[in-house]
Structure 1
Amino acid sequence: MNGKNLFNFGPVLGYYFRGKDPNRKTNFNMKTMHFINKLSLAMFLVCLMVMLVRYVF
């Protein structure tokens, strides 16, 4: 594994900003699962930034 692949955030950004697929059926469970996944990723990134800021300053 090289360093270029280590910082490839394309799939993560694609998950956050992709459009809705009209061919896919959605239900409450799927919507809830995707919301929880997005929320946990956002919380992780915010905490990572807070830790980085505390470490630097």
Structure 2
Amino acid sequence: MKGLFDFSEVATYFFRKKDPNRKTNFNLRTMHTINKVSMLMFLCGLVYLVIKLMMR
């Protein structure tokens, strides 16, 4: 049950250092950017729902 609520990988996804040995690829950078945007939108929606339920 403890593993279900381990968000450390999600939190570190936004603050990773770039690996200098890895080649840069436009498609990979675009995919990671879209992933970051979608995670932020999901978290904003989740916060909105929690606030909406608390104000009821």
Q: What is the TM-score of this pair, normalised by structure 1?
A: 0.88
**Count of matched residue positions in the alignment of Structure 1 and Structure 2:** 55
Q: Does 1:10 align with 2:8?
A: yes
For 2:25 and 2:18, the matched residues in 1 are separated by: 13
Gap runs ≥5 in structure 2? none
2:20 alignment partner in structure 1: 22
Provide the aligned C-alpha RMSD in A. Answer: 0.8
Percent identity over the alignment is: 53
Q: What is the TM-score of this pair, normalised by structure 2?
A: 0.90
Q: Secondary structure at the match of 1:17?
A: coil
Structure 1 outlier segments of 4+, above 4 Å: none
1:43 alignment partner in structure 2: 41
Gap runs ≥5 in structure 1? none
